[in-house]
Structure 1
């Protein structure tokens, strides 16, 4: 049977509020037969759910196509503020037809600045100090006379906001409208409040805090980066059952005040005085409420919400109460998390509870905040004495495992444990990837990677979530994006971010270190580079859109970003006298590499080697993007440029005796993974890299640039066992060293906590810094064996790297755009069992290395067509299969003792098409 499994519009099951004129539909299929492919589809869009066929707006008819992702709506122009209903049915290559899918919907937002009737409002400066710490509260009374058919709020703020209807918060989103390059792109949100509103009296209110817009950002304590005024923009559309409509907007009739939140910022935390709570929004006390005033903020940069919203995604209960040697009372959450603490308490009026947040305890076991720098991470609650309350901070988040509690001395240990919980906060991305192995330390490392991603994906990909930074560093993002795309559905998250990147890109093509850009004046002055860019960091402009295209099949985004990608290459080409080398300007190089000179953050790999390698990598990406987009002139142009860069790289950085001029691990890694060398040169450089690892007793010495690619370079060139030895290394420096030290997230430094319990420098020592978690890509692609051949996993590459060293099993699954991909293997005594699952409408190439036909039994686990193409290659058997489940059983006694040798590198695999 052929069935529709899921149906989405722009990655959402139900899309509320979009400005896209041509939203795209995708679906996944299931079948009980192998090798099932879609042959036809039909999409219908209607203006009515109940009278669907009588209100058809668009019908594709029975369209012959295998495409099942990102099919754009091409019907009549969409109207703003309108809900559209759609359904799909599909036919396969066996002549089977699905039923019509369940009816889904998408709804447009305002779609144009001209459709905003509301005005931006701010507190009247005659009554309020615009730089005061207490947050702003706005209110407007409503009288609803008739029965409501539908009601929508469209809202945003200069700052971050929550909306309330009669004291009830609307929705569970946090930190709206999110952080974007506000001067160019400012998100607004759509809320369906139909079920919250009925005839009667209402008060609509909003709280607006400084947030990213005007609050403190960076270690420079910069404020008012985007503006000096907190402001609200809100438009409530009500359609009544009698067909009439009413629009309520923010204007000068709204009132403003302050409330119980005396301070709320990301670094400082929050101070909440419950004695100042506004209990009755209906009672307009003129001594408290003053008229709001209209402010002159723009509308043309407003865009509908693009990213997944930020939410509380998990509740964590503390595992212990600790009394430190200094006499502090500390809660241990058991996990370095990002979010907030909720307290359920009952204390007398005027009494105060203060919470401090930290990631680690020092070696004496005391509460440690040195690595927070100027960030206070302090939450203060003052009681009004009105009985039990449940309180959590509103407009801030903290990075912490440990919480120091002050102000409660009478509670027992169990009462303390019962009174506090941790609320985990991050962008609410659906989980897509899973990995596990036979080694529990590796499993813990993988879990730490997940927590690192969750903690640092709060509307932008931040570098760290605890100290006075929390910025969208471009280098960290491009390093980690492929791992991120395995773990979670990050397409909307990174779509928003790369659009901000494009917005912040300068007119000459340079890309800032952080996006949204808040550091330009500081960085250019500090390092004297007024172009304000660096290789590997600026290359996020090419790597991120290309990775999104490759992993999610998003050709539209690639096309949208293409000119931005080209501008980066043309900027590099214009630097210096040699258009094929990037040997000018400032570069981070292999940042934080262990081979750096003492007291330096800059690794020993020559910065211009790194820069030129990335120059080649980005040029290759732009050439390949031009090929996808059928821009043949650019394909030729950038292919020629790439050839020149590769020749110049080899001439400049490889000696006549086929040795890299720099004897560092990273210097050998980059030309291997970026395909800058081949033949004998490649073999020699790979062998030299392997030797460097051996000579270092199977320890790494790489930094931000080399680490993500280290194990990939080894496994891809015949040294998988060396890569496994690095993975399983437990002594410093290694991935597992921090795990053994008790880490529950990824550290910024390999020795953030040293073996004697002392710390790396307070200056820059985050214990939740996801970059080195990029090893996750290698775990999925090489250890478990799930990779892609064609964009969006249209064609899948399955190649489990099974070695008799270290691991006896591994398993990974990925919820791809087409459905679930799975690969697992287990070595048990003399048998290796491999299981593979391929989703409907996909194909796969399964490579079993160093295996011949007479050594293998193939079993299909689903009935149907079993025509599997098998080819002997230099590396082993290649099975070309369609959808379905497949099981392979290998007798290890018949196989070579070393399955992976340098003589048969995996890049020689032959390619076949079904």
Structure 2
């Protein structure tokens, strides 16, 4: 028995955290079954040997089964403190030894930066060269410890002695810059040497002042400011106890880089002939800069954007028009690393696109985004280039110019994403469904580039709120997504308007663009989703006022306080039950969707108030929710149980949100399945209905219809996209039409993860894994169907890995489960298998289902398949 995977604030051995009372977690592993933690002991020390004189917190033995979200309560921590910690546990099956030692290191906390903001002596514009800010420093000895704390207005890349410091790309990341800005902390001890060292920081415009968002306000550039600048502080410690601090100030110097232009949408131009050869003494002095906005500078809370993979092209295509196009075989996000040898002034010119149309390169769907790279050679041997401050969503790369013959081995696709842990897994007997799940994960990686975006390729790439909320649960099944969303939710608070409206996009570069149902509901849905998966009460409590303000905003909108029937609505975005290929809003009545989502957000607010103990709000919003339900039934439901609009989404929302009177539930479910069968199991829902429809079918006795909808290969449907060659999830069900032509709509992304929300159903229904709150207790209720012969998968939780598998043979079904230590699962199986259970198994019967309560361990159940759909 041992404790493993110690984490502080969800990270392993983090440095530069700005949480005064950080939280701890660990996993328990044991070969024994039914292991439950009874007590824990945490020790924190400012020295690795944990002698009593060095301890700053020793909990003693605490009677508790809690193994995560445990708040530090020791000696008050100061800026830059390094703390070592370990844990041991007592369980019902014995005690562990103390774990291996972990550590965490504080950031600035409330300490003031010693450095000043500096910028190039020449005022920087987005269409000019990117500047480099430099400092030569002299160290009196080899350091025993060294940290670089750094941030920027715009993006930065840092180097010491020509070695790249930050593995984080696009740093410091995108936040609501008017309110807060992240800094990163890097361990640079091994990069510094005794004597002279060169520090070089290159700056790019990035989201801060480059072209981002739409032009509705006439400001395609300089959304937050018109000057790139940087702030840095280097802290060096020596063996003799002495220390040295190097901070940004007027003594730094500036130069121009060879990056002539770099923008999020348009790409990058690099002229290697302009790489500076100036001596340090020849450089210009920097200019000390005072930012216009007042903002907090906070430590990064989520893993940065990193290179997560490299892909080789699978083919060099010569098109009918004679163009040369590389196919990387996968719609990916990042850039291309290319090598070439040529004469001075030769050029490499690349354009990026997602599809081939009629065997020709196609990137019109990028709209105004140029998505190009232009590299000019200096003519000195083999030269290698990859972009610095931009990224692309692409599968195909058109080579407009290249010196000499094209060798595909000289090209690598560099895949980037926020570097969170992907540990979810799903597979089954249908290879097309397996490809679908693979595409869903690729879509998440491509749209998790520091913020949850709608798409990663065209002139958009914004934090659309609806896309975020419909995919949040799927994202948490696929990966450890909590810190990623934690960062984004802080911006929801900052960018929410005083009246409670939540912008369409966060960060809000569209400047108060508006709000509507299902988009603004991200303010309630995402925090509560994180609570379900991670039991993070800290996030829920921080977001609660924002959640409440959103519900109150809706309450003030309609003709009455329980009906939202005013204003603009995106509605069931891109649903296929409207008319014509260009239909965007679907056929479901917009007032129905708005009021249904109003009810859903209000019920989430009630649950959150119950968790947080806000008794007054529980009473008030329970009453409000009940009155919204009454209004919904009065306005949108007939006496015979029909729901206005008669669409898949209308019935889905009414059933999934429990809006119907009990007498109408079975009737509405029957109407829904009739609609589904009438469409021959083609799905017609849009962004709002899609996340829920399969759940509703399975829950209401139509599990086989949910499976058939999943497995439908006609348009619209998930496997239709697979048959058409998709490697990610499309924005539209028919981004490519059945004849291979492209949908003529002006919005046509081939990497848009909203419809990938079906993976939540794969985990919760097919595999049956559902959290209660944080997975210390959870359900496993798989619903097999003969349309698949097996399904298997699992997820990593804060307690360890949960796995579920089932296989259908001719006469039996075998269910195999893995349950981690310190958790309890309620396993739901058909009542018919009661006679086959071992007499030692404790169970009860609920609603004709067998309910077995299990502790940790591996289990196998085999029962008759008679009666299975």
TM-score by length of 1: 0.93
Where does 1:412-811 land on structure 2 (aligned, <5 Å)? 416-520=407-511, 523=513, 532-598=514-580, 599-761=582-744, 763-788=746-771, 790-804=772-786, 806-811=787-792
Aligned partners of 1:32 and 1:169: how far apart in 2? 44
Aligned equivalent of 1:248: 246
* Aligned residues of 1:122 and 1:295 also touching (Cα < 8 A): no
Q: 1:53 to 1:195 in 2, by over 3 A?
A: farther
Aligned equivalent of 1:145: 140
SS in 2 for 1:595: coil
TM-score by length of 2: 0.98
* Aligned residues of 1:253 and 1:292 also touching (Cα < 8 A): no
SS in 1 for 2:95: coil
Per-residue Cα deviation, 1:80-136 (whole angstroms, up to 9, x for no partner): 012111000000013x11111111010001112x42111111122xx4454542111
Aligned equivalent of 2:117: 120
SS in 1 for 2:420: coil
Aligned equivalent of 2:367: 373
Report the Cα offset of residue 641 of structure 1.
1.0
Report the Cα offset of residue 852 of structure 1.
4.3
Aligned partners of 1:90 and 1:716: how far apart in 2? 40
Per-residue Cα deviation, 1:597-648 (whole angstroms, up to 9, x for no partner): 3343111101110011111111111100011111112111111111111111
Where does 1:826-865 land on structure 2 (aligned, <5 Å)? 826-854=807-835, 856-858=836-838
Aligned partners of 1:293 and 1:409: how far apart in 2? 42
Aligned equivalent of 2:222: 224
Aligned partners of 2:770 and 2:648: how far apart in 1? 25
Candidates 298, 314, 317, aligned match of 1:319: 314
* Aligned residues of 2:319 and 2:360 also touching (Cα < 8 A): yes
Aligned partners of 1:547 and 1:698: how far apart in 2? 29
Where does 1:15-54 land on structure 2 (aligned, <5 Å)? 15-50=14-49, 52-54=51-53
Report the Cα offset of residue 258 of structure 1.
1.0
Structure 1 segments of 4+ aligned residues over 6 angstroms from their partners: none
Aligned partners of 1:890 and 1:199: how far apart in 2? 71
Candidates 859, 872, 877, aligned match of 2:845: 872
* Aligned residues of 2:126 and 2:261 also touching (Cα < 8 A): no
Aligned equivalent of 1:284: 280
Aligned equivalent of 1:821: 802
Per-residue Cα deviation, 1:750-793 (whole angstroms, up to 9, x for no partner): 111111111112510000000000001001111111112x2111
Aligned partners of 2:329 and 2:505: how far apart in 1? 31
* Aligned residues of 1:852 and 1:876 also touching (Cα < 8 A): no
Aligned partners of 2:375 and 2:284: how far apart in 1? 24
Aligned partners of 2:687 and 2:592: how far apart in 1? 15
Aligned equivalent of 1:206: 201
Aligned partners of 1:842 and 1:169: how far apart in 2? 43
SS in 2 for 1:690: helix
Between stretches 64-73 and 779-788, larger displacement belongs to 779-788
Aligned equivalent of 1:863: none
Aligned partners of 2:281 and 2:392: how far apart in 1? 35
Aligned partners of 1:704 and 1:729: how far apart in 2? 19
SS in 2 for 1:851: helix
Report the Cα offset of residue 822 of structure 1.
0.6
SS in 1 for 2:178: coil
Aligned equivalent of 2:69: 70
SS in 2 for 1:560: helix
* Aligned residues of 1:356 and 1:405 also touching (Cα < 8 A): yes
Per-residue Cα deviation, 1:830-888 (whole angstroms, up to 9, x for no partner): 2211101111111011111242421x244xxxxxxx96421122232111111111101
User: 1:56 aligned to 2:55?
Assistant: yes
Between stretches 735-744 and 670-679, larger displacement belongs to 670-679
Aligned equivalent of 2:5: 6
Aligned equivalent of 1:189: 184
Report the Cα offset of residue 564 of structure 1.
0.9
SS in 2 for 1:115: coil
Aligned partners of 2:29 and 2:584: how far apart in 1? 51
* Aligned residues of 2:785 and 2:868 also touching (Cα < 8 A): no
Aligned equivalent of 1:904: none
Q: 1:768 to 1:89 in 2, by over 3 A?
A: same
Aligned partners of 1:575 and 1:92: how far apart in 2? 54
Report the Cα offset of residue 657 of structure 1.
1.8
Candidates 229, 234, 241, aligned match of 2:232: 234
Aligned equivalent of 1:360: 355
Aligned equivalent of 1:912: none
Q: 1:626 to 1:256 in 2, by over 3 A?
A: same
Q: 1:267 to 1:766 in 2, by over 3 A?
A: same
Q: 1:588 to 1:49 in 2, by over 3 A?
A: same
* Aligned residues of 2:258 and 2:270 also touching (Cα < 8 A): yes
SS in 2 for 1:791: coil
Aligned partners of 1:373 and 1:773: how far apart in 2? 24
* Aligned residues of 1:371 and 1:762 also touching (Cα < 8 A): no
Please list every run of 5 or more consecutive structure 1 residues that lacks an aligned counterpart in the other structure: 524-531, 859-865, 899-914
* Aligned residues of 2:557 and 2:564 also touching (Cα < 8 A): yes
Aligned partners of 1:291 and 1:658: how far apart in 2? 72
Aligned partners of 1:341 and 1:844: how far apart in 2? 46
Aligned equivalent of 1:907: none
Candidates 321, 328, 333, aligned match of 1:338: 333
Aligned partners of 1:135 and 1:52: how far apart in 2? 51
Report the Cα offset of residue 218 of structure 1.
1.9
Aligned partners of 1:822 and 1:581: how far apart in 2? 43
Q: 1:795 to 1:129 in 2, by over 3 A?
A: closer
Report the Cα offset of residue 678 of structure 1.
4.5
Aligned partners of 1:471 and 1:849: how far apart in 2? 45
* Aligned residues of 2:681 and 2:709 also touching (Cα < 8 A): yes
Aligned partners of 1:777 and 1:766: how far apart in 2? 22
SS in 2 for 1:764: coil
CA RMSD of aligned residues (A): 1.5
Aligned partners of 1:597 and 1:733: how far apart in 2? 14
Report the Cα offset of residue 359 of structure 1.
0.2
Aligned partners of 1:617 and 1:212: how far apart in 2? 34
Candidates 89, 104, 107, aligned match of 2:105: 107
Report the Cα offset of residue 301 of structure 1.
1.2
Q: How many pairs are equivalent?
A: 865
Per-residue Cα deviation, 1:687-721 (whole angstroms, up to 9, x for no partner): 11000001111111111101111101101111010
* Aligned residues of 2:124 and 2:227 also touching (Cα < 8 A): no
Report the Cα offset of residue 276 of structure 1.
1.5
SS in 2 for 1:251: coil
Aligned equivalent of 1:903: none
